[in-house]
């Protein structure tokens, strides 16, 4: 594992600050699994990779720490966060409650245009999953992007700015875990079948069934994350 796979920021819009470019590149590396849990990041190394001073690197580290994606280490720099299983359960339980409320609101407020958008995203995801010849790295990254887009649109359909803000804050934490669950093609296919079913329930305004499905969907994601982390040995023991 190294920084070599990460974008150096040269393709990012020139209007964006160097701190933004570094933050986005590192964040993408973390949530797609290119930078694995426990991986150490040093200011000097990152600054050299991006041909930048250490100041924007420190800012990027600070923002990643706020997202709970990295942790400060005593020897300097940061390391990619490694969650214990109790924390994972807590995160997904909170997500389940918030997303259930989101669906409750969405059933009453979702528009035909939003339904059409969700269907388009779901179709693109199934096309990626059913395609042959794609590298796993590309597939993981693309499915992650589409999954994020899907959930962001679901949040938007609630038409509740306060709820959307809370969910987006939580999303930064969950992102580092969600990628683990999509690293198994079968689980990704099942998840997108659930997404498709959810769209139908929202379109038909079947509120109770939609809420139960999103709770099941989040619970399944939590189980998959823990299962994969146990197999890979990337989780840490519970803290007390």
Cβ burial of 233 (10 Å; 0-12, 13-18, 19+) is: exposed
Phi, psi of 23 (to 5 degrees): -60, -50
Q: Are 153 and 227 found together in one domain?
A: yes
Residues 64 and 100 reside in one and the same domain: no
What's the pTM value of the predicted model, to 2 decimals?
0.73
**pLDDT, tens only, 218-231:** 998 888 878 877 77
* Residue 56 and residue 89 in one domain: no
Residue 26 belongs to a domain with what CATH number? 1.10.10.10
Show the domain range for 16. Answer: 3-80
Residues 204 and 126 in one domain: yes
**pLDDT tens digit sequence for 25-77:** 998 888 777 888 889 999 999 999 999 999 999 999 999 998 888 999 988 89
State the CATH number of the domain containing residue 185.
1.20.120.530
């Amino acid at each position: 594992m190294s920084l070599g796979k990460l974008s150096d920021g040269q393709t990012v819009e020139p209007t964006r600050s160097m701190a933004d470019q570094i933050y986005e590149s590192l964040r993408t590396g973390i949530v797609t699994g290119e930078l694995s849990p426990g991986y150490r990041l040093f200011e000097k190394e990152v600054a050299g990779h991006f041909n930048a001073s250490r100041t924007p690197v420190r800012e990027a580290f600070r923002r990643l720490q706020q997202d709970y994606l990295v942790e400060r280490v005593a020897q300097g720099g940061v390391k990619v966060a490694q969650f214990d299983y109790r924390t994972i359960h807590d995160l997904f339980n909170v997500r389940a409650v918030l997303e259930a409320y989101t669906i409750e609101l969405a059933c009453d407020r979702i528009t035909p245009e939003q339904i059409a958008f969700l269907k388009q995203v779901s179709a693109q995801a199934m096309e990626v999953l059913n395609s042959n010849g794609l590298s796993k790295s590309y597939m993981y990254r693309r499915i992650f992007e589409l999954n994020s887009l899907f959930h962001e649109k679901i949040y938007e359909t609630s038409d509740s700015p306060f709820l959307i803000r809370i969910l987006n804050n939580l999303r930064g934490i969950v992102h580092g875990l969600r990628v683990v669950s999509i690293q198994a093609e079968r689980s990704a296919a099942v998840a997108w079948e659930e997404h498709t079913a959810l769209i139908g329930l929202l379109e038909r305004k079947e509120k109770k069934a939609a809420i139960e499905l999103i709770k099941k969907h989040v619970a399944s994601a939590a189980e998959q994350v823990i299962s994969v982390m146990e197999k890979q040995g990337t989780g840490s023991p519970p803290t007390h």
